[in-house]
Structure 1
Amino acid sequence: MVWIKRVLVILAAVAVLAAVVMAFLPQPVPVDLAPVTRGSFEQTVDEDGKTRVRERYVVAAPLAGRLQRIVLEAGDPVRAGQVLATIVPSAPALLDARTEQELRARLGAAEAARARAATAVASAQAALSQSRADYARSRELAAQNFLPRSQAERDALAVELNARELEAARFQLQVAAHEVAQARAALSQARQGAMPGVRWDIRAPVAGRVLKVLHESEGDVPLGEPLLELGDPADLEVVVDVLTTDALQIKPGDPARIERYGGAPLQGRVRLVEPSAFTKISALGVEEQRVNVLIDIVSPRAQWQALGDNYRVDARIVVYRRDDVVKVPSSALFRRGEQWAVFVAADGRAQARRVRLGRRGGLEAEVVQGLAPGEQVIVYPSDAVKDGVRIAGRET
């Protein structure tokens, strides 16, 4: 019995000693793990933007006078030539030289705008004819495997974009012709002198819908006072302002996704990166140079019927894409000297490893060298994670 007691005492002492040793040993650091994967990689420029009607027209008062109450409301359809508003012109005592000069200047400006619009139509027609010829050649060569199919797709996109440019140019020509007619009629009316009670009808220059009623109530209005905005809500574009450093990577034809507007994601395509930038103050009070990027919505109209003018959206513009690449979460990367590195989980310990990257996106990065698919990396590593430290990982 004595030896049994001695054995029990020895075992208890060993257990206490082991507990003390374990208490003073460093505990594994809890970490979040994510796998290194292989698949498609996209580098995107993500910014918020807003929708707007591509071609809008502000109807203004062609004469000074008393405007009758406008009965149209936002959303009402209008046809070309429809009466939008009525003005009873003021009856000046005489037509002074200054007023006549202003009306002549307005007529001259309207005629110059019509000439520019006609030139733009001719230029757009030529560009469309050239792009159609290029697409026909590239499609034939691609069918014979003499040209990459991607080139034929780019030429097809150019045809679509040029067709839209021609449509917009024709719209501007129609509007300019209406402006000339209004300016010429206003000058003629002023020369003849306004007769009491004579009504002047303001007609719609284009077909579309009323976007805004800027002056609804009856009252006196001066020459050039904005009255209504017209446009086609089905012809929307997305305007996204991006940093000029990001704009250098974006080019016309790049795909884009329109998200977080209240519906399913939409497909879009960059039409234009505007050539002039502007200064914008960020939420942190920092001055930034930004530039507008115009995106056409290419998804079927049925998918975005509820989307209207000046709605907020999020745009994700794809500037780089590759398939079958090794990629790692961007949250696992950190700088070590002049190179990028990650912590790899190996045999229960953290192992620092330098990696060579290709492109970096918002959530993922393309790995050229240093990692293999299937390995586990530590994401958001804390200061407690060091090379060789014991870790207790949990997959994210």
Structure 2
Amino acid sequence: MYRSRAVVVAAGVLVLLPMTAASCDDAPDPVRLGNAEVGTVDEIVEAPGTVTARTAATLTAPASGTLRELHVEPGQRVRKGDVLAVIDSPELSRRRDAAAEAVEQAPSGGTVGTGGTAEFAAVRARTDRQAADAFEQARTAAAQITDPQVKKTLLHQVDAAERNYETASAASATALRSVQRGVASLSRAMGALSAAQRLQAEQAYELADAAVDALTLRAPVAGVVQLGGPPQAGGSSLAGLLGSGQAPSGSSGAVSGVDAAVPEGGWITAGTPVVTVVDTGRLGLSAEVDETDVLLVGEGVEAEVELDAAPGAGYPATVRAVDLLPTTSARGGVSYRVRLELGEGSFADSGEAAPVPRPGMSAVIRLKVRQAAGAVTVPASAVVRADGRDTVWTVRDGRYTAVPVRLGVQGEDTVQIVSGVSAGDRVVVAGADQVGAGEEVP
């Protein structure tokens, strides 16, 4: 598990007094004394992390076709809603044309046939089955789309179309029952059924037209363009609606050494990543904090960040959220993801502005989880365990005395003493194993 505590600086100055000198390399450490001081102690939790972008959206081809237009270049900044690419799908165009023709041929009223109520019932049942199959296919296909905005729009349209058709179908069923009771004419019922058939045809055209519109890829967020995208778990397809195939599982638009996996005018399969838009307007950090420290981390905790890519530079950060569910490392350790806002960095030696990080860069994050100002402090080396308790060896009346203490904020080099030792007390800061209770201090 990755866990350590950074150096903590106390405001007080310790005066170290050597008591003995080592005569050879293997001699025990000399006893050294210092004073308990009043100072400030910061407790630091150190964790590995990664620079993150606010969001990244990869736009994939919703159907097989030709990449007819590519409107952007790598590194180009775009605004939300800008057209990035246009895909030409002949199959989808044919389906929309067929749907438009069906609308023109749909009955607008009158009779459906001459077979009476039996034919009416058969036509209505067939129309209901066709509508149910169309809505189910459209919903299944829309659920496979990776672009959340396109998926939401199409699913909403399918739901609305299904509700409208159910209303029309129910009206035709009511009309049929009126005919069977002898309180209405068959022509009136036929008119209601014709209206349902025409509504089904119009909705089929609207769904096909929406699918054509989905072939125009627009930026879902403002950001910087990168052609292609990360590997996909599966293709994005409008299978039932468009009748097109899916991209192979794991296909990717990212090809080493080239700008785009698919050139303008090239053939593209459903689900192939075309363009990725990365929102770098607000950079953040994702840190993995060990379970032994995570309870000390909360919203608003400040941190200092160092990047492997920018030696000597420091970046401020602030915790904005701590995940409730843990992550488990390959070695079995449990940690929790902490999300931070990343500020502008600077170089400590010159004060110059540090370079702007890129998403994915490795970082070391030092979280200032607790601070004690105006506290009694001693070096961490002065605290030893004796009889199961934290103990500090002090000098009282010229003799060594073991004093149990209660610790507060703990740093790596300095700790806060809540009780047991007062400011100004002389304490053993090294070589505590060389002294005994009551021994006279040289």
TM-score bracket, normalised by the shorter chain, equals 0.5 to 0.7
Secondary structure of the structure 1 residue equivalent to 2:261: coil
Residue 339 (structure 2) pairs with residue 294 (structure 1): yes
Q: Is the 8 A contact 1:268 1:296 kept in 2?
A: yes
Sort the Cα spacing of 1:313 and 1:193 in 2 relative to 1 into closer, same or farther, 3 A.
closer
Give the Å deviation of 1:390.
9.7
Name the residue aligned to 1:223. Answer: 270
* TM-score relative to the length of structure 2: 0.54
Task: State the distance in 1 between where 2:71 and 2:436 align.
Answer: 75
Whichever residue aligns with residue 276 of structure 1, its letter is L
Residue 233 (structure 2) pairs with residue 203 (structure 1): no
Name the residue aligned to 2:228. Answer: 213
How many residues align? The count is: 296
Secondary structure of the structure 2 residue equivalent to 1:331: helix
Give the Å deviation of 1:293.
0.9
Task: State the distance in 1 between where 2:373 and 2:211 align.
Answer: 72
* Aligned partner (choices 234, 251, 255) of residue 281 of structure 2: 234
Q: Is the 8 A contact 1:88 1:199 kept in 2?
A: no
Give the Å deviation of 1:209.
0.8
Sort the Cα spacing of 1:72 and 1:360 in 2 relative to 1 into closer, same or farther, 3 A.
same
Q: Is the 8 A contact 1:29 1:391 kept in 2?
A: no
Name the residue aligned to 1:104. Answer: 139
Name the residue aligned to 1:44. Answer: 44
Name the residue aligned to 1:250. Answer: 297
Give the Å deviation of 1:272.
0.9
* TM-score relative to the length of structure 1: 0.59
Q: Deviations over 1:37-80 (max 9, x none)?
A: 31122223221211101222221222222446968554321223
Q: Is the 8 A contact 2:376 2:418 kept in 1?
A: yes
Sort the Cα spacing of 1:80 and 1:356 in 2 relative to 1 into closer, same or farther, 3 A.
closer
User: Which fold has the larger relative contact order, with Cα–Cα distance below 8 Å and residues 6 or more apart in sequence?
Assistant: 1
Report 1:121-200 matches (<5 A): 177=149, 179-181=151-153, 191=208, 200=215
Sort the Cα spacing of 1:202 and 1:193 in 2 relative to 1 into closer, same or farther, 3 A.
closer
Q: Is the 8 A contact 2:299 2:321 kept in 1?
A: yes
Name the residue aligned to 1:265. Answer: 314
Task: State the distance in 2 between where 1:316 and 1:51 align.
Answer: 14
Higher alpha-carbon deviation: 208-217 or 66-75? 66-75
Residue 65 (structure 2) pairs with residue 82 (structure 1): no
Task: State the distance in 2 between where 1:366 and 1:90 align.
Answer: 74
Task: State the distance in 1 between where 2:377 and 2:141 align.
Answer: 61
Name the residue aligned to 1:315. Answer: 365
Q: Is the 8 A contact 1:341 1:355 kept in 2?
A: yes
Sort the Cα spacing of 1:375 and 1:227 in 2 relative to 1 into closer, same or farther, 3 A.
farther
> RMSD between aligned alpha carbons?
4.5
Task: State the distance in 1 between where 2:340 and 2:75 align.
Answer: 24
Give the Å deviation of 1:81.
3.2
Sort the Cα spacing of 1:56 and 1:28 in 2 relative to 1 into closer, same or farther, 3 A.
closer
Whichever residue aligns with residue 387 of structure 2, its letter is G
* Aligned partner (choices 388, 397, 406) of residue 338 of structure 1: 388
Larger strand fraction of residues: 1
Q: Radius of gyration: which is bigger?
A: 2
